[in-house]
Copies of this chain bind each other. A is one copy, B any other.
Amino acid sequence: MVIYIGVIRLKSDYENNAKIIKALADPSRLKIIDILSCGERCACEILKHFDFTQPTLSHHMKVLADCGLVESRKEGVWNYYNLNTTNCNKLILFLMNLITDTEDCICKDKPKSTCE
């Protein structure tokens, strides 16, 4: 017997994922993700790809790390960064579920409205 347990998307699902998406909603941070997709990089190496200053990169890396898309590792003075691919995949999965007409949609308890 298979019991299908529908996943109800909560307010917090939208909020938490919006936070992560907000972290991605910046051209520089998209480029950083692109760079890290090739493997681990240290901060000073990443910085070479950009025109902005070091404190600005520090800010961007903090944003990406805080939302879990990126992980960091300290080695002496150097900070190495890695993609957290699990969390990246989770975000993409969330988006794919969002745009797909699934059983767990917010609308399933209502008839198709045409504003009668």
Contact = CB atoms under 8 A, between A and B. Distances in A.
A34 B106 contact: yes
A24 interface: yes
A98 B33 contact: yes
A108 interface: yes
Given A92-B95, A106-B34, A113-B45, A11 B39 contact: no
**Interface range on chain A: under 10, 10 to 19, 20 to 34, or 35 or more?**
35 or more
Contact of A115 (B24, B44, B49): B44
Contacts of A55: none
A98 B18 contact: no
A63 B39 CA distance: 35
A88 interface: yes
